[in-house]
Amino acid sequence: MGISQKSDPRRIAVLGATGSIGQSGLDVIAASHGRLTAAVLTAHRQTAKLAELAGRFRPEVLVVTDPDADRTPLADLAKTTRIFYGPEGLDEAVSSPEVDIVLAAIVGGAGLRGSWRALEAGKTLALANKESLVLAGSLLCGLARKTGGRILPVDSEHSAIWQALASCRPAEAPYGPGMPGSGEQIRRLILTASGGPFRNRPLAELERVTVAEALAHPTWKMGKKITIDSATMMNKAFEIIEARWLFGLPPEKIDVMIHPQSIIHSMVEFIDGAVVAQLGTPDMRLPIQLALNGMERLPGPAAPLDWSMTRTLELIPPDEGRFPAISLGRRVARDGGSAGAVVNAANEVAVAAFLAGKIPFCRITGICQSILDHHQFEQEPSLERLFELDRQARMEAQAWISD
């Protein structure tokens, strides 16, 4: 379908509208010439920002997931807009027939609830919240298979792989969790990683790096939690797990390469030796747009690459001794079961403690490792059990931090 033959607008629920991905998603909606509309916006605490966004995008429903957030900024909107307070507000908003696609952009394990409800209702889930798959990849993929819900990648690396995979099967083929077929044409996926701000920092200095240094990502502008995850490479660990579930490949077929320029967003090597990569500026609006438009190519707000300048694109195998999170990610991807929930919970607590100045940067991965090592592994936990294990792991991580 051409750009001028606009179909009915696709109605998007933007979960985490006040965050970095949420804002990029709203930029994409604003630039879509009415092809996309914001039907639902959610925030956790930033109600003044949510009110401002609601004034611009006129959604039918707002959800404020923290029931104790300041409600005053939304008082006037309550006359014209349905407003839910509390996390359970997500359930109705996401599964409403007024929603076509759910952009899951809440940060952390808190994002799982919206992802789950979206797939349960058979919706298309444009997934930025990788923690959903880290926590409950097996259950979410099973749910999507049952309801016909689809998971489309928003994470730039997984979007790049999705695009590269279109070279070995029709681009318009239905996409869902797991590869159609067994993925036998694929030799490996290669996730690229910028290496973060400490790629070349002597290991002994990591004890003393400041929060401001860790938040100064060299190429991407993102929310605080994922920026710290990028510095520790826990983000890449989570992406290995995410790829394992999205593409149904074993972790041995998922490699990582350091690519400091963040222009190559990831690659697929096929069994004939061909390597297909996707390149572009580091701008999340491109993968978001692709997911919201079901892989259709349209003009959008992301700036194209500047081809007038000479560039060097480096690809460097990672030093896994420097970044132990990578092997941790492979281990969790291989084990599945309860491992992801436990590591994710420990990581959230450790990152928050680092940001609050309570632990040094170099302890974050160690705490995740220790919690995983002490955890009684369960192969097939239910969703309720995963939430319980998440709570327990958070308490244990707090105890490690207080020690």
Point out which residues bind ligand NDP (CB under 6 A): 16-22, 43-46, 65, 105-107, 110-111, 128-131, 155, 220, 222-223, 225-226, 284
| Residue type at 121 in one-letter notation | A
Tokens coding 245? 């579930």
- In the complex, minimum distance from the CB of residue 359 to ligand NDP, in angstroms, rounded to a whole number: 20
Q: What's the Cα-to-Cα distance from 211 to each of 2, 200, 217, 233, 355, rounded to whole Å?
A: 47, 17, 11, 16, 6
Q: Are 190 and 270 spatial neighbours (Cβ–Cβ below 8 Å)?
A: no
Q: How far apart are the first and last CA of the chain?
A: 60
| Residue type at 217 in one-letter notation | H
- In the complex, minimum distance from the CB of residue 104 to ligand NDP, in angstroms, rounded to a whole number: 8
Q: How many CA atoms lie within 13 A of 139 on its CB side?
A: 23
Question: What's the CA gap between 239 and 131, in Å, rounded?
Answer: 9
Tokens coding 211? 């929060």
CB-wise, 45 or 201, nearer to ligand NDP? 45
Strand bridging mode 264-270 / 275-279: antiparallel
CB-wise, 183 or 194, nearer to ligand NDP? 194
- In the complex, minimum distance from the CB of residue 194 to ligand NDP, in angstroms, rounded to a whole number: 12
- In the complex, minimum distance from the CB of residue 388 to ligand NDP, in angstroms, rounded to a whole number: 18
Question: What's the CA gap between 387 and 382, in Å, rounded?
Answer: 9
Q: Are 159 and 130 spatial neighbours (Cβ–Cβ below 8 Å)?
A: no
CB-wise, 23 or 183, nearer to ligand NDP? 23
CB-wise, 135 or 267, nearer to ligand NDP? 135
CB-wise, 199 or 225, nearer to ligand NDP? 225
CB-wise, 222 or 240, nearer to ligand NDP? 222
Q: Are 126 and 105 spatial neighbours (Cβ–Cβ below 8 Å)?
A: no
Longest CA–CA separation in the chain, Å: 62
- In the complex, minimum distance from the CB of residue 262 to ligand NDP, in angstroms, rounded to a whole number: 11
DSSP 399: H
Q: Which of 374, 377, 383, 386 is nearest to 341 (CA)?
A: 386
- In the complex, minimum distance from the CB of residue 85 to ligand NDP, in angstroms, rounded to a whole number: 12
**327 contacts: CB under 8 Å, gap ≥ 6:** 320
CB-wise, 45 or 334, nearer to ligand NDP? 45
Q: Which of 105, 104, 128 is nearest to 116 (CA)?
A: 104
- In the complex, minimum distance from the CB of residue 45 to ligand NDP, in angstroms, rounded to a whole number: 4
- In the complex, minimum distance from the CB of residue 24 to ligand NDP, in angstroms, rounded to a whole number: 7
CB-wise, 183 or 222, nearer to ligand NDP? 222
Give the residue nearest to ligand NDP (CB).
Answer: 19
- In the complex, minimum distance from the CB of residue 103 to ligand NDP, in angstroms, rounded to a whole number: 10
CB-wise, 168 or 263, nearer to ligand NDP? 263
